[in-house]
Structure 1
Amino acid sequence: MQIRISWPAGLLTATLDETPTSKALAAALPISASANTWGEEVYFDTGVSVDLEHDARQVVEPGTVAFWTEGDALALPYGPTPISRGGESRLASPCNVLGSFDGDPRLLATVRDGDPIRVELV
């Protein structure tokens, strides 16, 4: 399954694996939210509430599409966060891994706090 994430300065597509969380997210699309940034991570509320999956991870590759269950939010790291060690992408807490971006995740650096962000199926 593919999704498109767009904001005023750009857009990216991502390919999601078939997981309980990705299915719940897809059922709620399209969604619009206000972006938040935390180091080199963009996150925003989805209005979707799911449980932590057995393979949830806190350290992920840049460009991973993750779901932060504690905040009902998509977490989109493209580099280090304030709690990272070295160059890793360390999320605030373990998150469900949904998939990864198809293009260069560094494009997320153009997202600003408060930007409108939209997620839809491709």
Structure 2
Amino acid sequence: MTKKQIMLDFGGLVLEAELFDTAIAKRFEAHLPYTVSLTQWGEELYGSVGIDLGEENPVPDIPAGGIAYSRRGNYVCIFFGQTPAWPVEHIGRIAGDQWERLVENPGLDAVTIR
């Protein structure tokens, strides 16, 4: 299983991540790079990628550091705590414990994913 390495660039804060070997993750990868305006909801950052990537296997729980896609809103979701409000596609994860830096840097409002 080959995993695609990506970067999440929040402007001054860059995190390494990987995409899983799933159909939705491959569709997500095919449209890289993305620049996304973010909204924070609880311990989740999310924003629209502007493309419907479909639905494969939505799950109700995503661990901290998880990266997900939600067909509802065409959102990319980046988790640093609680699970999503509704089931989402788990498409990747932030490397190691780098996700903890999201907690240390409140107010992030945009990300470039490449």
Identity of aligned residues (%): 26
| Structure 2 residue corresponding to 1:101, chosen from 84, 94, 97 | 94
The one-letter amino acid of 1:112's match is G
**Secondary structure in structure 2 of the residue aligned to 1:118:** strand
With normalisation by structure 1, the TM-score equals: 0.81
* Count of equivalent residues: 109
Tell me, yes or no, if the aligned pair for 2:28 and 2:53 is still in contact at 8 Å: no
What CA RMSD, in Å, does the superposition of the two structures yield over aligned residues?
Answer: 1.5
| Structure 2 residue corresponding to 1:52, chosen from 52, 55, 58 | 55
Unaligned runs of 5+ in 1: 80-88
Cα displacement string for residues 16-65 of structure 1 (whole angstroms, at most 9, x for unaligned residues):
111111111111111112111011111111122122213x2121211111
| Structure 2 residue corresponding to 1:16, chosen from 14, 19, 27 | 19
With normalisation by structure 2, the TM-score equals: 0.86
- Quote the residue 2:107 is aligned against: 112
- Quote the residue 1:25 is aligned against: 28
Unaligned runs of 5+ in 2: none
Which runs of 4 or more aligned residues in structure 1 lie more than 6 Å from their structure 2 counterparts after TM superposition? none
The one-letter amino acid of 1:72's match is N
1:91 aligns with 2:93: no
